[in-house]
Structure 1
Amino acid sequence: MKKRIVALMTGMICAAMSLTACEASKGLETDTLKITKYKGVEVAQVEKPGEVTDEEVEQQVQLELDAQAETKEIKDRKVKDGDIVNIDFVGKIDGKAFDGGSAEGYELEIGSDSFIDGFEDSIIGHKAGDKFDWNGEFPDDYGNTEYAGKKVVFSIVLNSITERTVPELSDEVVPKLSENAKNVEEYKKEVKKRLEEEAEQEYKNMLYSEVWNEVLNNTEIKKYPEGEKEKAQEALKNRYVELAESYDMEFKDFVETQMGITEEDFDKQAAEAAEQSVKSKLITAAIAEKEKISLSDEAYEKEIEKIAEQYNYDSVDALKEQVEEEELKATALNNLVVEELSKKCIQKASGK
C-alpha cells in the first residue's frame, strides 16, 4: 500500500479557548487495556484549508493537460529545448569513470535541469546517432562533496529524439479530461471542487492522525492476545516477500537495495509495526463496544470505497484482492470510531 492507513478526528471545544462546548473527557478500562482518555483529547490546532485560487486551478489544469501530451519520434531535425532524448553516457573524472556517472537508455527532458549546468545544453543541436564529449565542472556546492568543484568529461551517445506536444485547453479537449464536464467552464469548476475536496480531506487526515496518536499515547495494553503480534508480523513480512518476488529478487537483497536496511533491521521494524497495529485494533474494538459503534454492511462498503480511492486502487475489487477482508473491516471500523471521536476533541492553538 502506498500510504499508511490512518484513523481520524476533528475539533471544537471550550469557551475559554473560543471553541464550542463538548463532552467531558472520558477513558475506559478492560481486562486487556486501560485508556486514560479518549474523549475530549487535546491536540495541536490544525489549520483549515484556505480558498482554492484561480492560479491553483490553472496549475492543476496544466498538469492534467500535460498528462494528455502526445509524443512522436523525431528523425529529421536536431534536438531543441523541450525535447525528450534517449542517451547513453559515461562520466569520467581524471580519466576514470565514477559511481553514478554512467547510464544507458536514459530518458532526459531537455530543459528540466536534471543534470549539472551545461550538460543538457550540450545535447541541443545534435541529431540522433551523434556521439560526442562534453567537458563540464561540478558546482562547488554539489551534494556529493567528493565531486564538488571537479572537472568532468561526459561521453554521450544520442540514441533518439522525441517531441512532446501538450494540447491546448478547449471544449473539444475537455472530454479527454473529464467524464462529466461538457466545456471548459464546467471543467474548471469541476477541478476547483476537486481541489477543495482534496484540501478538506487532507485537513481531516492531519487532524484525525493527531487525535488518534493522542489516544494511542493514552493507552496502556495490559496483555496482548496470545500470538496476535506474531501473526501480524508474519503477515507484514509475507507482503514484502511477495513484493520481492514480483521484482524477481531474494527478500534479503530486496530490503537492502529497495529499502536501504538489513533483514535484521526489517524484522525489528516489522515487530514494532505489528505491535502498533494490534494495539490500534484492540483500542478500536474497546471504544466501539463502549460507544455502541458497529460496522454495518452498508457502512463497510462505503468505507472501503473511500479507502480504495484514497490509496489509488483501480476499483474496490482490486483493493479486496490485495488486502484481506479482516484487515479491511478493522480499518473501516477504526475510521468510524475516530470520526466519532473527532466530534469531541479539543484543538488548542499554539501557546495556549
Structure 2
Amino acid sequence: MKKKLAVLLTATVMATTVAACGKETVKEESVNTETPAASESASTEGTEAAASQTDGFDVTAYVDGLETMSLQDIKASDYATLTEYDGVTVEVAPVNVTEEDVADYINNTLTSSNPILNQVDRPVQDGDTVNIDYVGKYADTKEAFDGGTAQGADLVIGSNSYIEGFESGLIGAKVGETRDLNLTFPENYGAANLAGKDVIFTVTINTISEKSTDLTDEWAAGLGYEDVSNLEELNVHVNKTLTEEAENNYKQEVENGVLETVTSGTEFAELPEKLVNRYMKQQVEQLNYYATMYSYMYGQQLTATDVLKLMMQSSGFAGTEEEYFKNTATDMANQYVMFQAIADEQGIEITEADVDSFLKEKYESASSTGFSSFEDYKASLDLELYRENLMAEKVMSFLSEHANVVESAE
C-alpha cells in the first residue's frame, strides 16, 4: 500500500514542477568533477541491467495518440464506493529524539562526512587522507593528458576513488616524497583517449593526516552551519534537525497509515479506459522528467522506458513492462477517483482562483522563463492536473487531521 502513496506523490511532484511545463529550466550542467584518475563506478551503478535502449516495449510510443478524459467527466462515487474514512485509527510511533540520537549523529554521520584530521609525521597508511600534487602522462609519449593534473588534491587512501593502483601505490610514501605510478586505465573507461592506455602518474605527497575522534569547537565551527560556532551549538542544531526530520517522518507515517486504511476499505469499479489513459500519459511525462534529471546528474542518457525498468527492478515486479506500467496507472487513477469521491462528499473544492494562486507562486519563483506572460504560461498547462493534485492534498490533509492516531506498541 505504501506503493500507492508513492504513486500519488510522484504525480504531485510532476504537478508542482514548472520545469515539466517548459518554464523553469534545469540550470545544472552535466559537469564531470572527477579527474581522469577517478573511478567511474558510481555514475553507472544500477543502470547496466536496464539497457540504454529497451527492446520491444516503448512507453512513450505506447501512449501516443491515446484518447483521454478527466475526473471532471465522471461521477467519482460511481467508481469508488467509500466506507469509513473520517476518523480512521492508525498506529504511529511518537516523535522521540534522545541525547543518544544526537551524539550518534555527530560522532558517526557528521564525522564520517566531515572527518576530524590530524597531520602525522609517518609514512602513508591505508585509511589516511593525503594531500597531493600529481601529473598524468601517457607512458609512451610522456605527454601530459588533459585533466590529469591537480594540485592540493585530498585523497582518502582505500576509498577506491581513483583508478586501480593509484591509492595503493602511495602507501609507505612520506611527506615531500615523489613517486611515479605506472598504471593502466580500464578498457571501458569513459574517456576514449584514456581507455586502456598505459600512463604514468607523478605524485608528490604534501601532507598526511589520520582521523581523530576528538571533537573540537573548531571542527564544529568549520562544518558551515550558520548557527554553529562551537560544540554546544552543534548539539542544539543537530537536535533541532533530527526533531524536524522525525516530525516529517511522523506526518508521512500518519498519511501512509490513513491512506492504506481508507484505500483498503474502498471498493473500486472498473474505470473508463480513457481515464486510465490520462494517468498513463501523466506517468510518461514524469518518467521523461526523471530521465532528463538523471542525464544532468550522471551524464548518462536514459529513456522513459529505461527509468520504468529501473523502477520495476527496484519494486521487484516480475511481470512485463506493459503490465507494470498499466498497473501503476490504474493504481494512480483509482487513488484520484477515491480522493474525488471523498472531496465530493465533504464539499472540498478547488477553484480556478486556487489553481491560479498556486501557479503564480511557481511562475514568479522560477529562475527563468520561456513565456512572455503568466497568461501564456498558464495557457500551456493542463490545468486539470493541478486541480486534481491540489484536491488530493486537501483530502489528505482532511483525512490526516481527522485520523485517530494512537501510539504504536513498537
Change (3 A) 1:47 1:180: same
Q: Is the 8 A contact 1:29 1:35 kept in 2?
A: no
Equivalent pair of 1:42/1:345 in contact (CA under 8 Å): yes
Displacement, 1:343?
3.7
* Correspondence 1:56 to 2:94: no
Among the aligned pairs, what percent are the same residue? 21
Whether the 8 Å CA contact 1:211–1:345 is kept in 2: the answer is: yes
1:340 and 2:398 aligned: yes
- Residues 1:281 and 2:333 aligned together: no
Superposed CA offset, 1:292-313 (max 9, x none):
33457789989xx9xx9xxxxx
CA distance in 1, matches of 2:321, 2:104: 40
Q: Quote the residue 1:4 is aligned against.
A: 6
More strand by share: 1
Once the two structures are superposed, residues 240-289 of structure 1 have per-residue CA deviations (whole angstroms, 9 ceiling, x without a partner) of: 34544633245556655786499982322121111111112122222123
1:221 — aligned with what? Answer: 268
Question: Once the two structures are superposed, what CA deviation does each residue of 1:119-165 show, in whole Å capped at 9, x if it has no partner?
Answer: 99976735564469xxxxxxxxxxxxxxxxxxxxxxxx996789788
Alignment CA distance shift 1:242-1:48 (3 Å): closer
Match of 1:240 in 2: 287
Q: Kindly state the Cα deviation for residue 348 of structure 1 after the two structures are TM-superposed.
A: 6.8
Question: Gaps spanning 5+ residues in structure 1: where?
Answer: 8-27, 87-106, 133-156, 309-314
TM-score by length of 1: 0.54
Which residue in 1 is equivalent to 2:247?
Answer: 200
Is 1:190–2:237 an aligned residue pair?
Answer: yes
Asked if the contact 2:355–2:386 (Cα under 8 Å) also holds between the matched residues in 1, the reply is no
Q: CA deviation at 1:198?
A: 1.1
Number of aligned positions between the proteins: 264
CA contact under 8 A between 1:237 and 1:270: conserved in structure 2? no
Tell me the CA shift for residue 332 of structure 1.
4.0
Separation in structure 1 between the aligned mates of residue 406 and residue 239 of structure 2, nearest angstrom: 30
Greater CA deviation, 331-340 or 342-351?
Answer: 342-351
For the aligned residue pairs, the C-alpha RMSD in angstroms reads 5.4
Q: Indicate whether 1:211 and 2:258 are aligned.
A: yes
Q: Which amino acid aligns with 1:266?
A: E
**Pair 1:325–1:345, CA change in 2 (3 A):** same
Residue among 174, 179, 183 paired with 2:226:
179
Given that residues 216 and 230 in structure 2 are in contact (C-alpha distance below 8 angstroms), is that contact kept between their aligned partners in structure 1?
no
Q: Identify the residue that residue 144 of structure 2 maps to in structure 1.
A: none
1:230 to 257, 267, 277: 277
Bigger drift between 185-194 and 328-337 goes to: 328-337
Partners of 1:236 and 1:268 lie apart in 2 by 14
Normalised TM-score (structure 2): 0.48
Q: Secondary structure at the match of 1:233?
A: helix
Per the alignment, residue 104 of structure 1 pairs with none
Residue pair 2:348, 2:395 contacting (<8 A) in 1 also: yes
Matched with 1:94 is: none
Taking the TM superposition and a 5 Å limit, the aligned residue runs for 1:285-300 are: 285-295=340-350
**Structure 1 Cα separation of the partners of residues 268 and 303 of structure 2:** 36
What is the letter of the counterpart of residue 291 of structure 1?
A: Q
- Matching of residues 60-139 of structure 1 within 5 Å: 60-61=105-106, 63-64=109-110, 67=113, 78-83=124-129, 109-110=156-157, 125-126=171-172, 129-130=180-181
Instruction: Measure, in 1, the Cα distance between the counterparts of 2:311 and 2:8.
Output: 24
